[in-house]
Structure 1
Amino acid sequence: MSKDILSVIQASMSAFSKGQKLIAKFILESYDKAAFMTASKLGKTVNVSESTVVRFAAELGYDGYPAMQKALQEMIRNKLTSIQRIEVSNDRITDQDLLPMVMQSDIEKIRMTMEAVSREDFYHTVDAIVSARRIYILGVRSASAIVSFLGFYFNLIFENVVIVHTTSVSEMFEQILRVGEGDVVIGVSFPRYSSRTVKAMQFARDQGAVVVAITDSEASPLAAIANHALLAKSDMASFVDSLVAPLSMVNALIVAVGRRKNEDLSRTFETLERIWDEYEVYEKVEEET
């Protein structure tokens, strides 16, 4: 469905049954919570049966309740405030043991990522990185952790890596000022999406660079700009961003690039080991004197 689901619900209100109107009213008033409820829980919340909730989704034109739920989640992906994220997180988390609950959630995100990611985009990204004149990696807030991780390993493989995770808009553009054809720009962002990252990636695309997005959804503003989008699922309904799936995606990217640049990587580590050996000898001599 191309129209905003809330607009569709509002426009169809007069045609709903009594039970469906209860569902519609709750979604319109509390869409941030409804988007993460099961059909059963939504039904109990508004005092209707689970089957009524399922029929409501069908009435709106969806194949089933999961499809309607996904539409709600996509719609609100960049709308939740930090307070709303905390409230939704509290609603979803019960008093059970949090450790296995959180870990199981992360396992599910990796599974969803494996199903969502385009192999074609992944290997085209590897090709572009290996042949790039310069590689820019940019992201802010929690995404800066992924940028630093990717940048650390790419710096061992390449001599042409620029890591950009400044909080200043002007500094971000200063650092990518010379981006152009032959360059690759990897932008990382998850809800709530960084407008700085989006603008920087648009600038890079306009300058002729190959733009790669590491983000969570095709609805992400980064995916709309990118030549290649690597989709890694994250949990935006929490005050803490789950970076397990994105880091796993980045790890796969590093391994794939490393295999293609195996000889260069071997020379790098040979040089490092020689330097480490010399440094340790120097330290030992200095201590003895």
Structure 2
Amino acid sequence: MENTSKDLIKLIQHKYANLSKGQKLIAEYIMAHYDKAAFMTAATLGKKVGVSESTVVRFANALGFSGYPSLQKALQVLIKNKLTTVQRISMDDSFIDSDATLKKVLKADMENLRATIEEVDCRTFKKVVDSIFKAHRIYILGLRSSTALAGYLGFYLDLILDNVKVVSFGMSEIFEQLLRVTKDDLVIGISYPRYSRRTLDALKYVKKQGCKIVGITDSYASPIASISDHTLIARSNMVSFVDSLVAPLSLINSLIVAIGMREKKEVTQYFEKLEDMWDTFNVYEGKDKPTNF
């Protein structure tokens, strides 16, 4: 089993004495600048410290990893909850060029989608859909950058179901909005780096009430994964100071469609009524009644 990121720095320190001269240069750089090293290729890291790419690969092997990508992934997990916005901005100078930025961000989002497709657990996904239909009430919680995801999921589930509540900052405190949760309810918690402590505290509270929890997050190393009854993973590797929410949004779309298709007849009837209402009140462009000026 490969090493996890939990004690990665301690591992490097422990192995340091037995490393070659070139590998020690890599170790020293990573211990001092792990936030930057996590987003460097093996070739870039080697060039930075003055060693070959093959030396970087052998360094990863010396730590017990199958290759540099595994070490890099461990470094990224290590920094996710520690990297400040300022550090994110400074970690990659390639974003200075606007053309390069466009392609790099799009490629990064595509990579997050690819990794999510490969890693998604279809059995867990089905269990989550089942849990949503079994729940007496459904609470959706996502704070900070995850607020957009929670609001999007809540908007569409509220069109399909009649027992959905989005928990958010407002007149009522977060915990006040969760005061009536019971063991028959379901809380969907959405949390992405930098992980909101408020989200974790709120989920710990509902867990004590016996409430079921579905976690939507970026990895099983996420703080909410350990307390969730079911965890859905959608990758969100950071791109500069912006969180990549493309894969999480796609996962949420999948949930919405799966739920809607299970209740297709009822949803169709409901949307027919909605369409009539939207036409009556001119909610959308394209169907306005003629206006005389």
| TM-score normalised by structure 2 residue count | 0.90
Deviation at 1:92, TM superposition (A): 4.9
Of the three residues 225, 228, 250, the one matched with 1:226 is 228
3-state DSSP of counterpart to 2:224: helix
Of the three residues 126, 129, 133, the one matched with 2:132 is 129
Count, aligned residues: 283
Question: Hey, what's the Cα distance between the residues in 2 that align with 1:122 and 1:128?
Answer: 10
**2:105–2:239 CA contact under 8 A, matched in 1:** no
CA RMSD of aligned residues (A): 2.1
Unmatched tracts of structure 2, length 5 or more = 283-287
Q: Does 1:35 align with 2:38?
A: yes
Superposition misfits of 4+ residues, deviation over 6 angstroms: none
**1:192–1:236 CA contact under 8 A, matched in 2:** no
**2:215–2:232 CA contact under 8 A, matched in 1:** yes
1:275-286 matches, cutoff 5 A: 275-279=277-281
Q: Does 1:144 align with 2:147?
A: yes
Unmatched tracts of structure 1, length 5 or more = none
User: What are the Cα deviations for residues 132-171 of structure 1, in whole angstroms up to 9, with x where unaligned?
Assistant: 1101001111111111111111111111111112179x71
Q: Does 1:242 align with 2:244?
A: yes
Counterpart position of 1:74: 77
Q: Does 1:10 align with 2:13?
A: yes
Deviation at 1:8, TM superposition (A): 0.9
Percent sequence identity over aligned pairs: 53
Question: Hey, what's the Cα distance between the residues in 1 that align with 2:131 and 2:265?
Answer: 18
1:37-56 matches, cutoff 5 A: 37-56=40-59
Question: Hey, what's the Cα distance between the residues in 1 that align with 2:248 and 2:260?
Answer: 18
Question: Hey, what's the Cα distance between the residues in 2 that align with 1:102 and 1:62?
Answer: 28
User: What are the Cα deviations for residues 36-59 of structure 1, in whole angstroms up to 9, with x where unaligned?
Assistant: 111111111100111111111111
3-state DSSP of counterpart to 1:221: coil
**CA distance 1:271–1:55, change in 2 (3 Å):** same
| TM-score normalised by structure 1 residue count | 0.92
1:197-216 matches, cutoff 5 A: 197-216=199-218
Counterpart position of 2:114: 111
Counterpart position of 1:257: 259
**2:94–2:101 CA contact under 8 A, matched in 1:** no
User: What are the Cα deviations for residues 28-87 of structure 1, in whole angstroms up to 9, with x where unaligned?
Assistant: 000001111111111111001111111111111111111111111111111111111111
**CA distance 1:92–1:217, change in 2 (3 Å):** farther
User: What are the Cα deviations for residues 167-215 of structure 1, in whole angstroms up to 9, with x where unaligned?
Assistant: 79x7111001111112111111110000111111122222122211111
Question: Hey, what's the Cα distance between the residues in 1 that align with 2:143 and 2:200?
Answer: 11
